[in-house]
Structure 1
Amino acid sequence: MNTPDSLADADAETLLAGRSDWVDAAAASRLTEHPLESVDTEYPHYVGAVEGSEGLTPPSEQHPVFYGCFDWHSAVHSHWALVRSLRLFPDHPDAAAVRERVGTRLTPENVAAEVAHFEEHDSFEKPYGWGWLLRLAAELHLWAEEADGDGRETASAWRETLRPLEDRIAELVESEFLTQERPFRVGTHDNSAFALACVLDYARTVGREGLAAEAADTARRFYADDADWPLGYEPLGWDFLSPGLTEADLMRRVLPPGEFETWLDGFLPDLTAPPHDAVLDPVPVDPDSADGVALHLVGLNVAKAWSLAGVADALGDDHRHADRLRESAGRHATYGVDRAFTDDYAGAHWLSSFVLFLITREEGGIAPTPWGGD
């Protein structure tokens, strides 16, 4: 696997710092290489259930903005990765190509077509794709606030163009997601905790206090009484998220520090004994395997790294699990990042976004403090 030198040379402490000042031009280019290619790759594509050969509509006609990357949600978070790279790396060597690629598809007409699809299919990409779409909107908001000159003009224009879809997704989140009776505790796209974290981060970043309060209330309703999570059962099958650690990473956004420590002690009462301690080790990935399951596990290790690090940071240095969680996060980060830069399209169309999420988690938009600060 072709890991860029600056990332290959980064130690665990650097990867977990969450800052981007150590990322050189070559690494910045590598982080956007696959998203830049994939957003224009229409096929192969997951189109869902097909009942016949008549009337099949190409993905680029159904979703003129987000048609690449095999599926809609991957196209969305690839756009998030491209926009975040423009914001964090102002001298990005491929900035012109990124602007051209995103700007060409992000037009009022194309966004209107995306909105129209959600008017007819109000559960499409619920909740994973919804969460990433809101993260993309939040990233444009941050870029418009921070950039100068042409950057601010571009970010503001793109944000206004995307706003009708942003508003539609926010409406669906409130009516169709936050009203659910129970969470989905899985390690794949239906995971409720991951989507709630996306919604909460978006709302706090853009200043939608009402939506943030609703998301936090839903998180408490879903998870406040959870205890003795069976970490020894993870991972299951195609997991690219840890259900238990993702839940903990959400609740550290919701509960005050002391209350969070009490909750975590009940949720994960013993991380030192089998089978619970197994979650602290990266999930082994066969380097010769190129199937989707193995590449999901690469993403799982990266996602575990950001969850473990976020939980450790929230606990502070005095908690009995803090050092153990932080050390585990470092091992997951180095193991996951080292395997994430594959040329196999089954992983290439999404893994770069996960790496960028991990290594820039302190650069705004991820677990911001209320309201809008980091």
Structure 2
Amino acid sequence: MNPLTAIRMEALLSGRSDQLGPDVAERLSNHPLDSIDTEFPHYARSVDSPDGIERPTERHPVFFGCYDWHSSVHSHWALIRQLRLFDEHPARSDIVDRIDDRFTAENIAREVEHFEDNETFEKPYGWAWFLHLVSELCLWEDDRAAAWRSILKPLEETIVTLIKSEFLPQKRPFRVGTHQNSAFALHCILDYARTLSNERLESAVTDTATAFYAEDRNYPVEYEPLGWDFLSPSLTEADLMRRVYSRNEFTMWIEQFLPDVTTAPYDTILEPVHTNPNRDEGVALHLVGLNLSKAWCLAGLASTLKDHQYVEAFERSAKQHMECGLDRAFTDEYAGSHWLSSFVLYLLTRNEGGIAPE
């Protein structure tokens, strides 16, 4: 049962955790708690020989579950964010025990070792979510959070160094609706930099974002979605640039970036994607995530633009995307259950710090 059905859509779209009760918190923790300990099935990438193949638990003693490393990272982010936002979380002791067991200096050293041997591993999506996880620990004023962050520090430093050397110097962005999307990674890194008041990293990210996207005009929104997308390339880019520019600068930018999305054929970007629960499965559940991520982009854009002509259309579309996304987000099918709760939490708590901080 979906515990959100009894809550008004307007309340859910506010992005505030005080609209969510303990039953919602418990439901949001169920799949992440199950998945972070689920070693198989797992995405193994290429296998060069039958010799010396490591199990996921050996290669990644912290982030081995959830089918892939990045999903494990953002599932841990989701659980830690819930601990921060819900004082009386029904699964608090279980969450703490699970994370305590895996956040050890020895385990993190093994994770760091893998990155030292594989410098592009999980670039940039996993890196971006890991920095969101670190941001959450910084926001949570709790001795346990401070201890966990101290343990994660070597991996944090490794990933920040890789971002500076391997990601920010890229010559062009990747405009896709999946893991390689440059704008999504940049927005996560920027949120991290601002949460930690890291002005040097913030400046580097805004410089990269401006170099990549400042001159974009008349984006072909009618081409979306491009496949099994879980991000909208156009809206994700706009969601980044609203963080980079002042409101006036952003208004001028978006009026040139987007065609008139209130008219055909461009208005299709405002329509959620409908999936058939009796037929669509597996990677098609990416489209459920797409509806959720478009909802948080549209809601954020509307709040930034204030009284612009697009605001009403964006708000209406955000609500429609949220309704459509939440309708299938709590699937028990592992292809969706190992990651969709994180997207739900991001959407429902987007105004609770760590996401688009001023």
* TM-score interval, smaller chain: over 0.9
Determine whether 1:92 maps to 2:81. Answer: no
Equivalent runs, 1:142-181 vs 2, <5 Å? 142-143=139-140, 145=141, 152-181=142-171
Give the conservation status (yes or no) of the 8 Å contact 2:270–2:314: yes
- Tell me which residue corresponds to 2:281: 291
For residue 50 of structure 1, what is the amino acid of its counterpart? Answer: V
C-alpha deviation, 1:293, in angstroms? 3.1
- Tell me which residue corresponds to 2:126: 129
Q: Please report the RMSD computed on the Cα atoms of aligned residues, expressed in angstroms.
A: 0.8
For residue 167 of structure 1, what is the amino acid of its counterpart? Answer: E
Looking at structure 1, the residues matched to 241 and 354 of structure 2 have their Cα atoms a distance apart, in angstroms, of 17
Looking at structure 1, the residues matched to 292 and 17 of structure 2 have their Cα atoms a distance apart, in angstroms, of 17
Q: Name which of 169, 175, 192 aligns with 1:185.
A: 175
Give the conservation status (yes or no) of the 8 Å contact 1:42–1:59: yes
- Tell me which residue corresponds to 2:298: 308
- Unmatched 5+ stretches in structure 1: 146-151, 370-374
- Unmatched 5+ stretches in structure 2: none
C-alpha deviation, 1:235, in angstroms? 0.3
For residue 352 of structure 1, what is the amino acid of its counterpart? Answer: S
Give the conservation status (yes or no) of the 8 Å contact 1:127–1:189: yes
Deviations 1:278-323 (A, max 9, x none): 111111111213522321000000000000011111100x211111
Bigger relative contact order (CA 8 A; separation at least 6): 1
C-alpha deviation, 1:206, in angstroms? 1.0
C-alpha deviation, 1:171, in angstroms? 0.6
Q: Name which of 316, 325, 339 aligns with 1:327.
A: 316
Give the conservation status (yes or no) of the 8 Å contact 1:302–1:333: yes
Deviations 1:208-254 (A, max 9, x none): 11101100110000000001011110001110000000000000000
Determine whether 1:345 maps to 2:321. Answer: no
Moved over 4 A (4+): none
Specify the SS of the correspondent of 2:43. coil
Specify the SS of the correspondent of 2:264. coil
Deviations 1:124-180 (A, max 9, x none): 00000000000000000101x3xxxxxx11111001000110111011111110000
Give the conservation status (yes or no) of the 8 Å contact 2:131–2:189: yes
- Tell me which residue corresponds to 1:363: 352
Looking at structure 1, the residues matched to 81 and 262 of structure 2 have their Cα atoms a distance apart, in angstroms, of 37
Looking at structure 2, the residues matched to 233 and 18 of structure 1 have their Cα atoms a distance apart, in angstroms, of 29
For residue 162 of structure 1, what is the amino acid of its counterpart? Answer: L
Looking at structure 1, the residues matched to 145 and 161 of structure 2 have their Cα atoms a distance apart, in angstroms, of 23
C-alpha deviation, 1:202, in angstroms? 0.4
Q: Name which of 197, 200, 213 aligns with 2:187.
A: 197
Give the conservation status (yes or no) of the 8 Å contact 1:240–1:303: yes
Looking at structure 1, the residues matched to 211 and 9 of structure 2 have their Cα atoms a distance apart, in angstroms, of 35
Looking at structure 2, the residues matched to 290 and 273 of structure 1 have their Cα atoms a distance apart, in angstroms, of 30
Q: Name which of 4, 8, 16 aligns with 2:5.
A: 8
C-alpha deviation, 1:9, in angstroms? 1.9
Aligned residues: 358
Specify the SS of the correspondent of 1:91. coil
Deviations 1:316-342 (A, max 9, x none): 0x2111111111001111111121000
Specify the SS of the correspondent of 1:320. coil
User: If the length of structure 1 is used for normalisation, what is the TM-score?
Assistant: 0.95
- Tell me which residue corresponds to 2:47: 50
Identity among equivalent positions (%) equals 58
- Tell me which residue corresponds to 1:22: 19
Give the conservation status (yes or no) of the 8 Å contact 1:15–1:330: no
Determine whether 1:354 maps to 2:353. Answer: no
Specify the SS of the correspondent of 2:17. coil
- Tell me which residue corresponds to 1:139: 136
- Tell me which residue corresponds to 2:196: 206
Give the conservation status (yes or no) of the 8 Å contact 1:11–1:334: no
- Tell me which residue corresponds to 2:64: 67
- Tell me which residue corresponds to 1:148: none
Specify the SS of the correspondent of 1:17. coil
For residue 86 of structure 1, what is the amino acid of its counterpart? Answer: L
Looking at structure 1, the residues matched to 199 and 170 of structure 2 have their Cα atoms a distance apart, in angstroms, of 20
Looking at structure 2, the residues matched to 330 and 103 of structure 1 have their Cα atoms a distance apart, in angstroms, of 37
For residue 334 of structure 1, what is the amino acid of its counterpart? Answer: E
Q: Name which of 219, 230, 234 aligns with 2:224.
A: 234
User: If the length of structure 2 is used for normalisation, what is the TM-score?
Assistant: 0.99
C-alpha deviation, 1:275, in angstroms? 1.8
Give the conservation status (yes or no) of the 8 Å contact 1:234–1:279: yes
For residue 2 of structure 2, what is the amino acid of its counterpart? Answer: T
Q: Name which of 235, 240, 252 aligns with 1:250.
A: 240
Looking at structure 2, the residues matched to 305 and 221 of structure 1 have their Cα atoms a distance apart, in angstroms, of 26
